[in-house]
Structure 1
Amino acid sequence: MQANKIFAVLTVLLLVGVLGYGVNQAFVEKPVTLQGQIEAREYNISSKVAGRIEQVFVRKGDDVTKGDILFAIDSPELNAKLMQAEGGRDAAKAMLQQADNGARSQEVMAAKDQWHKAKAATELMEKTYQRVENLFSDGVVARQKRDEAYTQWQAAKFTEQAAKAMYNMAQEGARAETKAAAAGNARMAEGAVKEVHAVLADSQMRAPKTAEVSEVLLQAGELVPSGFPVVSLIDMSDAWATFQVREDQLSHFNKGDKISVYLPALKQDVECEVQFISVMGDFATWRATESGHDFDMRTFDVELRPLTQVDNLRVGMSAIIRL
């Protein structure tokens, strides 16, 4: 009888203990596990040149160094434009040189000879007029003859002046304004050539960063439009862990906080720093019926960057935080 009483008491005590433990567990805040994933900076390499891919020098998974050639594009139309631009430049340079050099020596000599010829004719007309004037004074010739001789003399003087002006102009060369215009045209033509060269340089695309080839979208022989990505690079040295955090859990994350992130694939904890927090769109809102709150909960995108380089880190790896 005594044993039954003791057993009953122990049973009651056990039940009370289990009940108390259950009540205590019900009010103890359970740890929250957040799962995110690893992301990294990606570069989509495209060209301003539209044409046919001549050669792709890389494959998916290749490691490339900044400056390595990734692919080359052949564009006959652009080569033709380069020939046109170079022809325009050469013509503009020739015109500038002509303006700077002035008339050729043969042209200067010919203008000088024309001036001397006109000068000789003027002197002859002057002498002729003087003879006729003397004859007119003696009453031998009519006034009409004298006036004709005078007019021929004056016309010869004007012809001489015109020839002298042409000679001076040939000596001086082009006007300053003509030289400035020729220089401007030469610079404009040179700029057109450099513009085509700049576009042609984009026909051989080089890696902008030391990274890994994540995707090759087009192969040799395929046509590529301007601005279409041909090769994608991923830079694992610029990687981070991203989490979607509900609003009521956001107090655990402040910009600059140091948080330990567990990477199951590598079986290691990585010390990270919160560097970016941004609200997500309305599509990511947690509804009150789902969250247990009497208002809708927004979701925030939180990015954490490793404080040290992590070997063998890959995009898409799971990242775990326990709050």
Structure 2
Amino acid sequence: MKTIKIGISLINLLVLASCNNEEAITPYRGKVKFETISVSSKLAGRINKLYVAEGEDVQKGDTLAFLDIPEINAKMIQADGAMKAARGQLDMANAGATAEQLLQIEGQLNAAKAELQFASESYSRLDNMFRDSLVTRQKLDEVNMKLQMARAQVAALEARRREAGKSARSEQLDQAQGQLDRARGAKEEMLIASDEMYLIAPANMTIETISLREGELLGPGYALFNGYKKNSLYFRFTVNESRIYDFKQGGELVIINPYTKEEITGKLTYIKQLPQYADITSTAPLYDLSESVYELKVIPTSDISGSTFYNNASILLKE
């Protein structure tokens, strides 16, 4: 009977001891974290090809996927056509009239001069006849009007010939240049948009999830790839307000991996109060629920190149 009582007492002592140890580390139980990265597209398109799989490590600049965006090709053709048309307008404005146009204007001017010569001679004859009272004043005025019209026609064609020999007005040149610049801008926009057909890794990262499959439609801004940035490991702890004064930003802490028993030194980079509804990392919080909760972010300072950590795995803070 005494033996049984002694055994029960030993068991109780062991249970109490384990509870005391658990209580000592439970308030500072946290999680392994990595900085997350999402890769999305600015434009809508159908996924033509996926070049990576979930769990794969990629390097910055690697092509992750190719999107089929037919609208880009169509708009590129439109932009090329607009550039050709605008460049032609600018060249024509700079060069002025062509040789054929100048020849046509010269022919019209010669014809107008011939009409002017005929009108001038007719007016001279009728003026003499009017002086001899052979024609009426009305007939002379009609011929004089035709003479003035012929002179105006010749003057207009001469002005047109002078203008055709020069380049266009500065306002016309500016307008043609503006159209060309606008066409160039549209083409540059399409070239930039064409780059969106390829989704590129923004950093060295591990692909965690791929939200769509080949052949499916990807909307603008929708994250196709989600993953973790390499070399971005940190540890997240939550501490209640009654214990937060035990920590100081910039201070050094010791982290324990409960599975490998490895100890790691780290630096407390920030202390941030969490909203009342925020989640905590401790599975058995030992504090009053009315207390505020603070988040601690700890960056490892010791060499962890030979260590293995998994996202959201439990980690302990040594007291």
Aligning the two structures, in what range does the TM-score lie when normalised by the shorter sequence? 0.7 to 0.9
Cα shift readout 1:164-199 (whole Å, capped 9, x = no counterpart): 122223223432222212221222222222222222
Q: 1:94 to 1:61 in 2, by over 3 A?
A: same
Aligned to 2:128: 134
The reply on whether 1:304 has 2:298 as its aligned counterpart is: yes
| Secondary structure of the structure 2 residue equivalent to 1:281 | coil
Between the aligned residues of both structures, percent identity stands at 27
| 1:49 corresponds to which of 43, 47, 51 | 43
Larger radius of gyration: 1
**Paired residues, number:** 293
Match of 1:115 among 100, 103, 109: 109
Structure 1: unaligned runs, 5 residues or longer: 1-25
Q: Aligned pair 1:314/2:301, yes or no?
A: no
1:97 is aligned to 2:81: no
Quote how far apart the aligned CAs of 1:70 are.
0.4
CA distance in 1, matches of 2:191, 2:237: 46
SS in structure 2 at match of 1:282: coil
Distance in 2, matches of 1:44 and 1:313, equals 21
Q: Distance in 2 between matches of 1:209 and 1:292?
A: 40
Instruction: Write the deviation string for residues 234-278 of structure 1: whole angstroms up to 9, x where unpaired.
Output: 113112100011111111211111111112344322111111211
RMSD: 2.8
Q: Displacement of 1:62 after TM fit?
A: 2.0
Give the residue type in structure 2 aligned to 1:75.
I
TM-score with structure 1 setting the length: 0.81
Residue in 1 aligned with 2:271?
277
Say which is worse superposed, 230-239 or 128-137, in terms of deviation.
Answer: 128-137
User: Runs in 1 of length 4+ with deviation above 6 angstroms?
Assistant: 29-32, 290-295
1:315 maps to amino acid = N
Could you tell me which of 167, 170, 173 is aligned with 2:164?
170
Alpha-carbon spacing, 1:199–1:295, altered in 2? closer, same or farther (3 Å): closer
* 1:158, distance to aligned residue in structure 2 (A): 0.9
What is the rounded CA distance, in whole Å, between the counterparts of 1:264 and 1:65 in structure 2? 31
Q: Distance in 1 between matches of 2:61 and 2:312?
A: 27
For structure 2, the residue ranges without an aligned partner over 5 or more in a row are: 1-19
Residue 275 of structure 2 is aligned to residue 258 of structure 1:
no
Give the aligned residue type for 2:95. Answer: N
8 Å CA contact 1:33, 1:322 repeated in 2: no
1:218 aligns with 2:212: yes
Residue in 1 aligned with 2:8?
A: none
Question: Which residue of 56, 59, 73 corresponds with 1:65?
Answer: 59
Taking the aligned partners of 1:44 and 1:292, their CA distance within structure 2 comes to: 35
CA distance in 2, matches of 1:243, 1:294: 17
**Is 155-164 or 184-193 further displaced after alignment?**
184-193
Which residue matches 1:106? 100
How far does residue 36 in structure 1 lie from its aligned partner after superposition? 0.5
Q: Distance in 2 between matches of 1:319 and 1:294?
A: 23
Aligned equivalent of 1:242, options 223, 236, 239: 236
Partner of 1:12: none
- What whole-Å deviation, never above 9, does each CA across 1:22-50 have from its counterpart, x for those lacking one? xxxx9xx9677511011111111111221
- Secondary structure of the corresponding residue to residue 28 of structure 2: strand
Q: Secondary structure of the equivalent of 1:136? A: helix
- Relative to structure 1, the CA distance from residue 313 to residue 226 in structure 2 (aligned partners, 3 Å threshold; closer, same or farther) is same
| Larger displacement relative to structure 2 (304-313 or 237-246) | 304-313
> 1:33–1:320: 8 Å Cα contact kept in structure 2?
no
Q: What is the CA–CA distance in structure 1 between the aligned matches of 2:172 and 2:123, rounded to whole Å?
A: 43
Provide the C-alpha distance between the structure 1 equivalents of 2:142 and 2:25, rounded to a whole number of angstroms: 125
TM-score normalised according to structure 2 size:
0.82
What is residue 7 of structure 2 aligned with on the other side?
none
Question: 1:289-320 deviations in whole A, cap 9, x for unaligned?
Answer: x9998993111111101124522333223221
